């Protein structure tokens, strides 16, 4: 039973990694007319894979998952600004909860398994998605916060919700910083600093956990007998 649960968790971790990769690297380049319907479907799949990747799911977490999923679809259909903001906030909280629980799951694991490695990758990519939602919110309400200007008014939301936030979020989190998109206000510069530090801390914590577990499971002195 426990082995089957581990295999199922590994499968859903793999699915989550694939979906996050699609969201981060493929979604920004799809045809813009299909963008909103596709992103809603992909986010729904991401919610499902995220909740099922957890070995232990509390009743509260399942309720949170249902609320997040419903808000994603209702806000998209109703297209009400306030509901869209609530949905984005719920998405951020849900993904943060998933990242925290993935880290706890990795820390409590006795061995370095494919599921543990996939969970580590998924957690890092989810952080990038979380930051991109923050950035899209800022660009929508304060376009002057960055040196990015959309080509036209009608296309602004499409650009904001896709390539710009995802690109800048991941590039900043990796502390790469090409300099083509710059934060112009104090709070966006603080956000950039926070994103860099969060990305580096995540990598440091995960690498330390994985190396420690790998060394422990290969230590001959700790083998039975």
- In terms of Cβ atoms closer than 10 Å to its own Cβ (0-12, 13-18, 19+), residue 151 is exposed
> Considering the domain boundaries, does residue 130 fall inside one?
yes
Would you say 184 and 146 are in contact if contact means Cβ atoms under 8 Å apart? yes
Range 56-84 burial, b when 16+ CB lie within 10 A, else e? eeeeebeebbeebbebbeebbeeeeeeeb
> Considering the domain boundaries, does residue 201 fall inside one?
yes
- Inter-axis angle of helices 81-108 and 59-78, to 10 degrees? 150
> Considering the domain boundaries, does residue 225 fall inside one?
no
Range 186-221 burial, b when 16+ CB lie within 10 A, else e? eebeebbeebbebbeebeeebeebbeebeeeeeeee
* C-alpha count within 13 angstroms, C-beta hemisphere, residue 49: 22
> Considering the domain boundaries, does residue 7 fall inside one?
yes
Number of domains, the chain: 1
110 or 31, which is more confident? 110
Average pLDDT, the chain: 80
- What is the arithmetic mean of pLDDT over 86-106? 89
pLDDT at 149: 52
DSSP structure class, residue 155: T
> Considering the domain boundaries, does residue 222 fall inside one?
no
DSSP-derived 3-state class of residue 146: strand
Domain extent at residue 75: 2-217
> Considering the domain boundaries, does residue 55 fall inside one?
yes
> Considering the domain boundaries, does residue 91 fall inside one?
yes
The predicted-structure confidence for 179-189, as pLDDT tens digits, reads as follows 788 899 999 99
Note if the pTM is more than 0.75.
Answer: yes
> Considering the domain boundaries, does residue 224 fall inside one?
no
């Amino acid at each position: 039973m426990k082995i089957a649960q581990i295999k199922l968790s590994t499968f859903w971790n793999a699915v989550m990694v694939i979906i996050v990769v699609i969201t981060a690297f493929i979604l920004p380049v799809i045809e813009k007319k299909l963008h909103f319907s596709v992103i809603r479907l992909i986010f729904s799949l991401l919610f499902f894979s995220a909740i099922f990747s957890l070995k232990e799911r509390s009743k509260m977490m399942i309720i949170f998952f249902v609320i997040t999923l419903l808000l994603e679809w209702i806000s998209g259909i109703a297209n009400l600004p306030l509901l869209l903001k609530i949905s984005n906030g719920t998405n951020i909280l849900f993904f943060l909860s998933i990242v925290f629980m993935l880290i706890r799951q990795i820390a409590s694991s006795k061995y370095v398994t494919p599921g543990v490695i996939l969970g580590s990758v998924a957690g890092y990519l989810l952080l990038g998605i979380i930051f991109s939602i923050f950035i899209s919110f800022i660009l929508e309400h304060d376009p002057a916060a960055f040196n990015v200007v959309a080509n036209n008014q009608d296309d602004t939301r499409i650009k904001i919700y896709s390539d710009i936030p995802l690109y800048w979020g991941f590039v900043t989190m990796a502390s790469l910083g090409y300099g083509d998109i710059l934060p112009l206000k104090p709070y966006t510069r603080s956000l950039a600093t926070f994103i860099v530090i969060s990305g580096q801390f995540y990598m440091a914590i995960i690498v330390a956990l994985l190396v420690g577990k790998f060394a422990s499971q290969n230590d001959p002195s700790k083998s039975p007998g």
